[in-house]
Structure 1
Amino acid sequence: MADNTTTSTTVRSVERALDILLCFAKSPRELSLSEIAREVGLHKSTAHRLLLSLQAKGFVRKQAGSDKYILGWSILELLGNVYLSDELTTLALPEMTKLRDITGETVSLYIRSGIERIRIQAVESNEPIRNVAAIGQTYPLYIGASGKVLLAFADEAVVDEVFLRECLPQDFSRTELLQQLDKIRSDGYAMSIQERDLGASAIAAPVFGRNHECIASLSISGPVSRFTVDKMNQCVDVLCTSAAWLTKMLSH
């Protein structure tokens, strides 16, 4: 038999967490802990505890170099395949289309949500055999070019959380992954062959925001029969150029 007191406390916590999220519906800007606590009528300690839970799930995030909170990318997961028209996806779409036309392969844009990545925009290849990209799909960070780019440029705490919370394969090597992340930071891009999907290969590069944090991963993917290592190497420069252009636009 359920404890009514425990149930009531849990429901109240859920209601308060939702009230915090609704604060951002009333304000187009970032909010401090004090502003949030005042808006929902909570003690700062209680609001902070709830914000930590929402942050762990990716529903809110702290602005880099600031004590202000903004909505997190997990909100996008709730939208499923609804067309996303925020600044990033709207700005990226023409460049992604151009990149698809140059390379002939599927181009995707991912963001990090907690210890997962979400595809928030995609332009599919026109080839009959291609990598089909569903917007709103989530994937792990520790596998695939796009995930590793987001992980490589994330805080060390995110890497630690991946090892703590993910159900990693028994033969997975932390040392090997850390070495790969070092190489990605050095090279400025990542490459993967049949890591996440059998028969698919991909390359990815980071997109940075105004505060120099990695806010997205831009990738090109295709079947290994066509998107070979040689072709991936040929596409690195154009991919990195597009990622740098998006970074420049988002930094203004």
Structure 2
Amino acid sequence: DGFMENPHVDFMFGAHVQAYLEVGKIESKYDTLNASSNSVLIEVNGKRGHGAYPQNGIDALVAAAQIITSLQSIVSRNLAPHEMGVLTLGKIEGGDAGNVICDHVEIQGTLRTLNKQERDFMVKRATEIVENTAAAYRCQAKFMLRARRGYDALINDREMVDIVKTNAEEFLGEDSFVYKDYPSMGAEDFSLFLENCKGAFFHVGCGNKEKGITSLIHTADFDIDERCLSIGTIMHVLNVLYFN
């Protein structure tokens, strides 16, 4: 929509609080920081029938159960040990009554990978498993990504991460910056901005163990040490002033 062009954006920084980090700590990572994310929908179709006469129906529920189990093999048997991917199926709906052969099942989930190649491969394998497993149980099934695109992997520019590190250490002390060991499989829409400019995403510590502020984000009892608000603001200002 032209957001990055009026005015033109050359560099960009983004931040997110994290309660596993103590207030006063800044965390980031070179290269891939967050995974890509796609919503998944699986539809399984069979034939409705009376539960007393299973030979007259085609049970989509049985096929769906086997599909769910078989999809777990993608990460454990199709990805190399050093590769990271997640296929979580969190919702299943199907059937009308306990004595009726189910003719339609929908399964919803999420797919997370660290690069486009792994995402394309997991989609291909999932499609093969879903269609062929369903066929083995006389059903038809489709594996679909629910939107044209989700969030791509968030890939930090190394030079921009160094700017964050320098400013964190000068502002908060030499031990304030933390390198994140592994990418997060959580997604972050900041990745869309980094397709158009150089930038870095970093985490601002908001936890305080002494005050019992330790609950992770997206939980009912999440809280912050409010000192993180000024720290995050100052970090953004310092990052911008670096270019003056």
TM-score by length of 2: 0.27
Which structure is higher in strand share? 2
Flag the structure with more relative contact order, 1 or 2, with Cα contacts below 8 A and sequence separation at least 6: 2
TM-score by length of 1: 0.27
Larger radius of gyration: 2
